[in-house]
Amino acid sequence: AQSVTQPDIHITVSEGASLELRCNYSYGATPYLFWYVQSPGQGLQLLLKYFSGDTLVQGIKGFEAEFKRSQSSFNLRKPSVHWSDAAEYFCAVGEQDYGGATNKLIFGTGTLLAVQP
């Protein structure tokens, strides 16, 4: 069965420092991968997605993620973190049905990012 692991429950970085949030997935075929961000009491906002092609994906708010098939990873990165980036980040893999259409999203447990001034 498909699964997503985010090994870091909580991460604290200093403002201006670089950031990498880890995500590992378990999936038999080529996965559809997503990163979402959630601010407290809010819904989820799509940061970026990977379906195929270039393994380095650019997203909104200066985020990028790299798909590494050999490591079954899709880590999220940002070169310089801003205080407004403090939020919960969820990695997700799209579960494909028999017809190849992605239906459900399988979410990781999330990583809570705190940003120190």
Partner 1 sequence: GAVVSQHPSRVICKSGTSVKIECRSLDFQATTMFWYRQFPKQSLMLMATSNEGSKATYEQGVEKDKFLINHASLTLSTLTVTSAHPEDSSFYICSARGQFYEQYFGPGTRLTVT
* Residues engaged in binding partner 1 (CB under 8 A): 32, 34, 36, 41-46, 49, 51, 90, 94, 101-105, 107-110
- Tally of CA atoms within 13 A in the half-sphere of 20 that contains its CB: 6
The least distance separating partner 1 from the CB of residue 75, rounded to whole angstroms, comes to 18
- Max intra-chain CA distance, the chain: 49
The DSSP symbol for 53 reads: S
The least distance separating partner 1 from the CB of residue 44, rounded to whole angstroms, comes to 4
Closest to partner 1 by CB, 66 vs 95, is 95
Closest to partner 1 by CB, 70 vs 103, is 103
The least distance separating partner 1 from the CB of residue 18, rounded to whole angstroms, comes to 25
User: How far is Cα 57 from Cα 70, in angstroms, rounded to an integer?
Assistant: 17
Closest to partner 1 by CB, 41 vs 117, is 41
Tokens of 100: 């190849």
Sequence-distant (6+) residues with CB within 8 A of 96 are 29, 32, 102, 103
Contact 22/7 with Cβ under 8 angstroms?
yes
The least distance separating partner 1 from the CB of residue 107, rounded to whole angstroms, comes to 5
Closest to partner 1 by CB, 74 vs 90, is 90
